Amino acid sequence: MHLAILASALALMATPAFAQVASPPAAPLPTVYVIQYKTGPAWLVGKPLRDQPMGPHGAYMRKLYADGRMLAAGPTVDTGGATTLVDGGVVLLRAASLEEAKAIMAADPAVTAGLFVGEVRAWRVAFSNGDPLAPRT
């Protein structure tokens, strides 16, 4: 009797009504460009971040964000919980290519003024919950 019930259940599950519908493959996650800034030759040694001439850099970062180019950015800080700049910062950037990302970094007023030097690397996102890497609408 139990075998008959099991056989009936298996037969029912094999019908199209019970077949699982395959979900479409997920879209590949975007390449993000990571700018790693370090203090440059014009950095005012011994002065905190708030005393550095960073206004034009801040305006540039806000423009990149408003344009949907910058995903996130901020200074590298000490690990003791304070918010003092240690030696630079990081920017996660959307760009069409590594060359474009390098051009965006090179146009940063903090780079042109020598406050920062930077390096750009491509980062292929492998895992993400979609925020903040999801496209802006």
- Mean pLDDT calculated for residue range 112-131: 87
Q: Is residue 93 part of a domain?
A: yes
Domain contains 129: no
Identify the residue with better confidence: 13 or 89: 89
pTM > 0.75: no
- The residue with greater pLDDT, 85 or 32, is 32
Structural domain harbouring 107:
31-124
List 107's β-bridge partners, or say none.
none
In this predicted structure, the answer to whether residue 10 has a pLDDT above a threshold of 50 is no
pLDDT at res. 31: 84
If pLDDT is split at 50, 70 and 90, which confidence band does 9 have? very low
DSSP-based helix, strand, coil % in the chain, nearest 5:
30, 25, 45
CA–CA distance, 26 with 111 (Å, rounded to integer): 38
Q: Domains in the chain: how many in total? A: 1
**Mind listing the pLDDT tens digit for each residue in 14-53?**
555 544 555 555 555 678 999 999 999 999 988 877 888 9
Please indicate, yes or no, if residue 23 is contained in any of the structural domains. Answer: no
What does the alpha-carbon distance between residue 52 and residue 114 come to, in Å, rounded to a whole number?
12
DSSP state of 49: G
Name 28's Cβ contacts closer than 8 Å, sequence gap at least 6. Answer: none
